[in-house]
Amino acid sequence: MDPESYLYIGILFFLLGAVISLLPLPKVKNYTYILSSTGALSFALLSLHLLFATPRNLFSAQISSLFNLAFSGDAISGFFVLTISILTFAVSIYSIGYIRDLKNKGLMGFLFNIFILSMYAVVLSGNIITFLISWETMSIVSYFLVTFDREGKSAKAGLIYAVMTHIGTAFIIILFFLLYRYTGSMNFSDMKNLSSQIPENLRNLVFVFSIIGFGTKAGIIPLHTWLPKAHPAAPSNISALMSGVMIKTGIYGFIRISMDVLGQGPEWWGIAVIVIGAASSILGVMYALMEHDLKRLLAYHSVENIGIILLGLGASMMFKSNGLYTLSAIALIAGFYHTINHAVFKGLLFLGAGSVMHATHTKNMEDMGGLLKSMPYTGLFFLIGSISICALPPFNGFVSEWLTYQSLLLGFKSPSITSKIISPLGGAALALTGALAAACFVKAFGISFLGMPRNKHAENAKESSLSMIIGMGILAFSCLLFGIFPGMVLTVLQPVSFMLTGLYGTPYQQGSLLGISETFSTISPMAILITLIVMSFATIIFISSIGGKRKIVYGDSWDCGIPALTPRMQYTATAFTKPIRMIFKRIYLPRRELKVSYLVKPFFVKSIEYKGEITPFFDRYIYEPVIVFIHRIAERVKLLQSGSLHLYLAYILITLILLLIFGT
Amino acid sequence: MMITILLIPIVTAILCYLLRNHRLIGYVNLGGAVILSIVAVPVIVSAIASPIGHSGMFNGMFYMDALSGYIMAMVIFLGLASSIYSISYLEHELNAGLIDIKGLRRYYALLHLFIFTMLLVTAANNLALMWIAIEATTIVSALLIGLGFTKRKLAIEAAWKYIILCTVGITFALLGIFIAYYASIAIVGTEGALNWTELKGIAAKLNPSTMRLAFIFILVGYGTKAGLAPVHNWLPDAHSQAPSPISAMLSGILLNTAFYGIMRFTSIVEPSTGSVFTGNLLILFGIISIAISSIFILVQENYKRLLAYSSIEHMGIISLGLGIGGPIGIYGALLHILNHALSKPLMFFASGKIQAHYGSTKIENVNGVLSSMPLLGILTFIGALSLSGTPPFNIFISEFAILKAAVDKGMWHVVGLFLFFAVIVFYGILSGFGRMLFGRTQNTEDRAQNTDKESLSSGFWFMASDLIMVLMALLIIILGFRIPDFIDGTIKACINVLGVK
Amino acid sequence: MKNWIGAFSVIDFISVGILITAVAMNALRRLESCVKAYTLNSWLLSSLIAIVAFMMGETHLYIASFVTLLSKGILIPMFLRRIVKQIKVTHDVDPYISNALSLTISGILVAVVYTSLKEGIFVAGFSKNVLQISIAVIFIGLFIMITRKKAITQVIGLLFMENGLFLAGFSLTFGMPTVIELGVLFDMLMGVIILGIFTIQIRRAFASADLDKLTILKG
Amino acid sequence: MQYFQFLIIIILSPLIQGTIKKLKANMQGRVGPGIFQPYYDLIRLLKKDMVISNVTSWIFKATPYIVFTSTVAASMIVPVITTESPFDVMGDVIALIYIFALGIFFMALASLDAATAFGGEGSSREMTVAILVEPMMMLSIFTAAISAGSTNISRIAGSGLIFSPSHVLALTAFLVAIIAETGRIPVDNPDTHLELTMIHEGMVLEYSGRYLALMEWAHYMKQMLLFTIAFDIFFPIGIANNVEISGLAMSSGIYILKMLFMAVLMALIESTRAKMRFFQLPSILGGAFVMALLSVLTYIMMGK
């Protein structure tokens, strides 16, 4: 079949899913997600066509005599379609079980399908108006999904999200128009061919705007502020999609404009991207560490991972402008690899968080604990997600971060001194990020899944339904798969690399080895995995041959002689992160309030109230002042409409007189 | 036929005023509107295809071309929609004791007179006749606002401000017409010197400085009526105090009829003064309107006023499109008129129902519309997003066209300012309606007991009004993806009429 | 030709009279006097139209003159007096701007109009002065509306504007086609009547004839 | 032979630990246990029954194996006496650090599993130290990797001795990293069981029997491994670049000397320094981080 038919079949399935969800068929509603997952498969087939064939126009229709809707696809779109499809497939299956207890199932099904379609539309858009329509549709639908529970709090989060994204869109519109003005075309492909006509300084402007515009969606620091508010507010299957793939459409837009359409830029573009990436990754993970809301924590990790992706992409741009195409290809692949990896493991983690919330009715880790025993599968999958996101071998995050390290390390080969300096600094940032991420997920997994249950809900938690487990299982399996078979992912990435850098086959693959010939370095996660397994057996054999068979006695944990540990004595998430909070207090600006009330001062304490928080720096010192300023101006301007008719008449007179004086 | 079109609403108005039974009045009102639509459609279609004049008693006074047909079609459509909506709306008001049968008769009579005056505006060939018609719309609609469905005091205040400001404004417009007349009789003599048909032919020969002066007066004059800032001040008061179907008519089409005057006049002034002069003035008014309204939208606490300010914003956008000019700019402006005439009435219809349910026009008093009235909530959301210029709804397309026209002319400052204020508007609208639509309804139960729920949410006419709103919402979505060929063609014909190349 | 020049000077003379009555209106406080100033203004307008009609020998201008006299000179003043009686207010004291200042501003308005309407725009018509005076009268009428607080004085200000408008119309174009003129007059008459009704309603609803009570709707 | 060089680390690591302890005792004027004491301890522990907390999950039981095998995997990558290491394609220095991190990650999880405050404390502190140490370690390795043009550890070791100011800086930072990673004074006190001061000991507090043995053994191995890495990348003199018996013998001899040197150094530092307050750690570790950063920058700027 030709790619168009996969496209139409896919669209058909999603639309069917959307429509059937709205019909009053309560039983059927739960299973419309099967249609979505089938649709995702169809789109996955389409993506393979796009990846391994020449770019083609898929669909085109007239909006009016002025504009056309046009969809087209090339390797870049293909890659993103594939990423979306993988996550959609798993999330759809997960949703079957997840939405069972949800109110407004029908609306959820409708929005879910439209949301996914709009994401596909974004990455397949062939011209600017199609892109804008798809982009904003995606934003609006996701806005509705964020505000799905219709509570005031989510409404506020949704509002911030929608407004931020709209600001981004404004920049995108301007940059599109700049491109249109100087290339005379609204099609991305024509723009790309004619982009050399754009004056140099305007190219820079387009680049800056693409960072702001798409960066808002992607959630780079300091434009990330909506992300930790909106993602947690949405139902978890949606959070998974939002964090896993929706923010990647921002990356897609950035790649499409700054790397594809504009082609090669000056060196500082790449450096700027690296700096932004480094800042996003470090600050993202640092704020994540201080979160005790499981979903907000994960949302901040999205900021971090977008930063890591940008480190790779930035390095790629930097090398390209320095003429080092091989290195550029490596860095590019690192960025893309991390993109797909993040989609998989972040999706998995959000689904896991969703299952946990489903079982414990809370997002607050301080109320969880001991869930691994009551929810063994969810726990295992969450653990796999955690290991992957911490880039620990042999899972997928390791491979992409390793590639990113390699590409940053290779910066020393660059002829420019700035690149040479900036790239190891990027590497240091990545190392710091990695360590912080590990600490963060020790906290996230340790506090919520290990130890003792901290309240009734956690104690009575039940394992999720089968479809949810399968959904998570698919993603967990993918984490392992993409980790131990990097060659598989590379096959998909090579066309993209070829399209953007003109190179195939770097980094190379050889059996289970992933190698970079420039540094003679190789890794083989498969070999590491095998070593771990073989050595475990060897160890077990060795131990029992020396120690023989020994008894295991179960008892209470060491309690210093005080009878019975209670869950309240456990380390909390707040306590866990205290040293980090203290060490980085310049960044966190922690504040604490201690209120002690006494019966007899200072001997008998009645109660102690402790309140601690870290300062949300960007909200407090950037966004709030701006909002306050605008509101203050607005209050002033409001005096214009003071209710006095005489004043209004005076406006007419003054307007006329001014026009008479200056107009004629 | 044109005369028939004009007569139908007058007859309907008289009948409505004479009858005593409120149900019967409702049916007569509906019948009038339906017959009007049936009669008007072929006339409009033929006008769009080729201009039609009128001979006979009023020789040379009436004339219709594509542009008049386009606007007239909107008048008739919204007239019909408002007639249908009014039935259930007034029934509710009647049951709630906010209005008596006398008020009801007046309401329907004035509604149809209002439609008549607006039809007259579009059908007038003569500049002065059009002026008379526009002034007449002020008087009739002021009475409608003054009917005072809400608080008597507020209604009087709004009506007073409305009538004073618009009359003052329109006085200047008449001055402008005199000056234009003066310029034109210098060329064609007194006969027909104020007719479009004449003026179009001689536009390039008119004295530029005279026409410049005339344009300033007309722009400020009709601009007052069209709601362009800084002479817009009557608009929020009038829109917020008028009964919702009337607000819908005011916002959706009355402003457009005034703007229609500006459009016509611009096309006559432009050949002599050059498009830079008219364009700059229109862009100036457009930007000021967008700027001021966006700020008011941001801090608005009353949703009907919010919608009113949004109308100012959209009139500003239309003015911007006209000012930027060129086929694409005008295309955008004309499409925007249509889009706004769909989205804004939908919102006013919806706000009428919200007001009836919650008994308040304050945003803070309305909570959880999505939960209490899901369909209405969704419709409101579609309308609100459309008004904020968000794809995939209709208004985005026209705004995009206008922006594209600005880009083609290199007016980056316009693009920048527009997008800046568009973000503020988006924020304002979404936060305002977000607060109303989301959340929980605490007070719904108590309020529902006060207002007669039976009449509110059931009954055929209530469903009919819902249906018309759903239809409008569907149009809003469809026009966001595809402008049907007949609309596309009509707009192109209009561009032809305006003489834009 | 002499006759024409004489006629022109008469026209100038009358139009200056129209301007003076309008300026004087700024200083008047008694509502009775305001109505009188308006009546005088209208009569002057009507006589001016009559002179134009005489010069041009056009019948429809005679009709216009007569209709103006009837409506603006007789009917509207009567109507205004009735309203003044009904609302039981005699004075419009305490305007927003003091007498001296408002007279000064009126002067400035006249100056602005004279400077901004440059030479060469108007080649025909009887007098450049008349056009400028008429626009000045319109502006002063608007200015009266801005400074006065009573609803009724605002209506009078509006009526002054309309007189100025008619003056402009006749001075520029010797009048419009009759149908149009009648239409315009009818519209204005309707407007004034409705404003009158509202004036009374304001008095009732707000228990005051002051417009500064009408500031509930804002923001 | 080269296939089994990692066994050297597995087998000899307790000996290094015993040596350090003995040296430390001597320096402090004590007799101290014999250098083979760690072997006795391990064997004894392996033969004991275990007590496990009943709140723990499978993580607690899997961790000793994961920690132990990950350290073994790491030692397979590292060339000990010859750079002809057959397993070095499995990973490079970056992978090595992440394999270590895998062990730390699970250890930290396991210590949270028993639901005691000691475990939580140890876990929290260990992760904090890791945050400070890992980037520093990575950067100091970067210097070596950039100068050798490869991140493959055998290649770095095989590229011979490069001695430059940047390497001195990097080595200093790496030594600090070793001290922190192995839990030695002034970062941690390996001999204490006082809850307020312990980091590593807090984490393994709930372990007993064979699990404890595995954890401790892994700890010894990691220590020796880090010593080896330090020499491999900063002072690779004497390491054989072939698999001839004579070369290996020679390199083995040198290797033993190197290890002895490190043992003396560690004992010396532990004897002369006092344990620092936990919140003073950032000053020393941060200083080392800056040093590592400087080393990279110096290398790039000066080219050596």
pLDDT tens digits for B26-56? 888 999 999 999 999 988 888 888 888 766 5
In this complex, the residue of C173, C191, C211 whose CB is nearest that of residue B181 is C173
Which chains lie within 8 Å of chain A at 3 or more CB pairs, if any? B, C, D
SS3 for D123-179, per residue? HHHHHHHHHHHHHHHHHHHHHHHHHHCCCCHHHHHHCCCCCCHHHHHHHHHHHHHHH
User: What pLDDT does B452 receive?
Assistant: 47
Average pLDDT over residues D244-271: 90
With cut-offs at 50, 70 and 90, classify the pLDDT of residue B249. very high
User: What pLDDT does A311 receive?
Assistant: 94
User: What pLDDT does C98 receive?
Assistant: 81
User: Which residues are within 8 A (CB) of A195 and not within 5 positions of it... i.e. 6 or more apart?
Assistant: A179, A183, A203, A261, A262, A263
For residue D30, pLDDT beyond 50: yes
User: What pLDDT does B149 receive?
Assistant: 61
Residues 197-226 of D with CB under 8 A from A: 205-206, 209-210, 213-214
The C-alpha atoms of residue A124 and residue C16 are separated, in whole angstroms, by 73
Q: What percent of chain A has pLDDT over 90?
A: 48
User: What pLDDT does A22 receive?
Assistant: 86
Which chains lie within 8 Å of chain B at 3 or more CB pairs, if any? A, C
Average pLDDT over residues A652-662: 88
With cut-offs at 50, 70 and 90, classify the pLDDT of residue A516. confident
Total tally of structural domains belonging to chain C: 1
Residues 142-201 of A with CB under 8 A from B: 144, 147, 150-152, 154-155, 158-159, 162-163, 166-167, 170, 173-174, 177, 180-181
- Is the separation of the CB atoms in A327 and A503 below 8 Å? no
The C-alpha atoms of residue D138 and residue D133 are separated, in whole angstroms, by 9
User: What pLDDT does B101 receive?
Assistant: 83
D138 touches chain A (CB under 8 A): yes
In this complex, the residue of C120, C145, C217 whose CB is nearest that of residue B154 is C217
Among A114-123, A387-396, D83-92, which is the least confidently predicted range? D83-92
Tell me which range, A309-318, B174-183, C22-31, is most confidently predicted by mean pLDDT: A309-318
For residue B453, pLDDT beyond 50: no
Cα→Cα distances D52→A547, C174, D55, D60, Å: 17, 112, 9, 9
List chain B residues with CB under 8 Å of C154: 164
List chain A residues with CB under 8 Å of D90: 522-524, 527-528, 531
List chain A residues with CB under 8 Å of D91: 393, 522-524, 527-528
Q: What percent of chain B has pLDDT over 90?
A: 44
For residue A438, pLDDT beyond 90: yes
For residue A14, pLDDT beyond 80: yes
Q: How many cross-chain Cβ pairs, A to D, lie less than 8 Å apart?
A: 270
For residue A373, pLDDT beyond 60: yes
User: What pLDDT does A469 receive?
Assistant: 94
Locate the domains of chain D by residue range.
Answer: 2-302
pLDDT: which is higher, C7 or D175: D175
Cβ separation D105–A409 shorter than 8 A: no
User: What pLDDT does C1 receive?
Assistant: 38
Cβ separation B435–A155 shorter than 8 A: yes
Residues 582-601 of A with CB under 8 A from D: 582-583
Total tally of structural domains belonging to chain B: 1
The C-alpha atoms of residue B124 and residue B120 are separated, in whole angstroms, by 6
Does C218 fall in a domain? no
pLDDT in tens, A107-134: 889 999 999 999 999 999 999 999 999 9
Q: φ, ψ for residue A48 (rounded to 5)?
A: -65, -40
Cβ separation B157–C214 shorter than 8 A: yes
- Is the separation of the CB atoms in B125 and B197 below 8 Å? yes
C interface mutation test: which of B110, B140, B157 has the most C CBs within 10 A?
Answer: B157
Residues 44-63 of D with CB under 8 A from A: 46-59
C interface mutation test: which of B156, B174, B215 has the most C CBs within 10 A?
Answer: B174
- Helix/strand/coil for A594: strand
Runs of H (alpha helix) within chain D: 5-27, 37-46, 58-77, 93-113, 117-148, 153-158, 165-181, 200-203, 209-234, 245-272, 281-302
How far apart are the CA of B406 and the nearest CA of chain C, in angstroms? 31
Tokens read off for D169: 């800086």
C interface mutation test: which of A637, A641, A645 has the most C CBs within 10 A?
Answer: A645
List chain A residues with CB under 8 Å of C211: 645-646
pLDDT: which is higher, B439 or B70: B70
In this complex, the residue of C112, C145, C212 whose CB is nearest that of residue A649 is C145
Residues in chain A: 664
How far apart are the CA of B357 and the nearest CA of chain A, in angstroms? 19
A451 touches chain D (CB under 8 A): yes
The C-alpha atoms of residue D89 and residue B369 are separated, in whole angstroms, by 64
Within its chain, how far is the Cα of B166 from the centroid? 15
User: What pLDDT does B111 receive?
Assistant: 92
How far apart are the CA of B90 and the nearest CA of chain A, in angstroms? 29
Average pLDDT over residues A261-286: 92
D132 touches chain A (CB under 8 A): yes
Query: B276 — alpha (psi -120 to 50), left (phi > 0) or beta?
Result: alpha
For residue B383, pLDDT beyond 90: yes
D92 touches chain A (CB under 8 A): yes
List chain C residues with CB under 8 Å of B160: 151, 195, 198, 202, 211, 214
Tokens 């009775």 — which residue? C32
User: What pLDDT does A149 receive?
Assistant: 84
List chain B residues with CB under 8 Å of A630: 298, 424
Tokens read off for B393: 């709804």
pLDDT in tens, C164-216: 888 888 777 776 677 777 777 877 888 888 888 888 888 888 877 777 778 88
Among A227-241, A333-347, A545-559, which is the least confidently predicted range? A545-559
User: What pLDDT does D196 receive?
Assistant: 67
List chain C residues with CB under 8 Å of B164: 145, 154, 158, 195
List chain D residues with CB under 8 Å of A590: none
A434 touches chain D (CB under 8 A): yes
Cβ separation A402–D209 shorter than 8 A: no
With cut-offs at 50, 70 and 90, classify the pLDDT of residue A558. confident
Cα→Cα distances A632→A445, A474, B422, Å: 45, 52, 19
Residues of A with CB under 8 A from a CB of C: 638, 641-646, 649-650, 652-653, 656-657, 660-661, 664
pLDDT in tens, D134-169: 889 988 888 888 888 888 888 888 887 777 888 889
User: What pLDDT does B148 receive?
Assistant: 65
Does C219 fall in a domain? no
For residue B447, pLDDT beyond 70: no
Query: A502 — alpha (psi -120 to 50), left (phi > 0) or beta?
Result: left
For residue B119, pLDDT beyond 80: yes
List chain B residues with CB under 8 Å of A648: 161, 165, 231, 233-234
Q: How many cross-chain Cβ pairs, A to B, lie less than 8 Å apart?
A: 164
Q: What percent of chain B has pLDDT over 70?
A: 93
User: What pLDDT does B455 receive?
Assistant: 45
- Is the separation of the CB atoms in B79 and B249 below 8 Å? yes
Residues 93-152 of B with CB under 8 A from C: 126, 128-129, 131-132, 135-136, 138-139, 142-143, 146, 152
Cβ separation B424–A652 shorter than 8 A: no
pLDDT in tens, A49-91: 899 888 888 888 888 888 889 999 889 999 999 999 999 999 9
Within its chain, how far is the Cα of B370 from the centroid? 27
Cβ separation C116–A660 shorter than 8 A: yes
Residues 227-256 of D with CB under 8 A from A: none
User: What pLDDT does C2 receive?
Assistant: 43
Domain extent for B382:
2-497
The C-alpha atoms of residue A251 and residue A210 are separated, in whole angstroms, by 10
Q: Which residues of chain C have pLDDT under 50?
A: 1-2, 120
What residues form DSSP beta bridges with D249? none
For residue A518, pLDDT beyond 50: yes
What was the ipTM of the complex prediction? 0.91
Chains C and A, touching by 3 or more CB pairs within 8 angstroms: yes
With cut-offs at 50, 70 and 90, classify the pLDDT of residue D54. confident
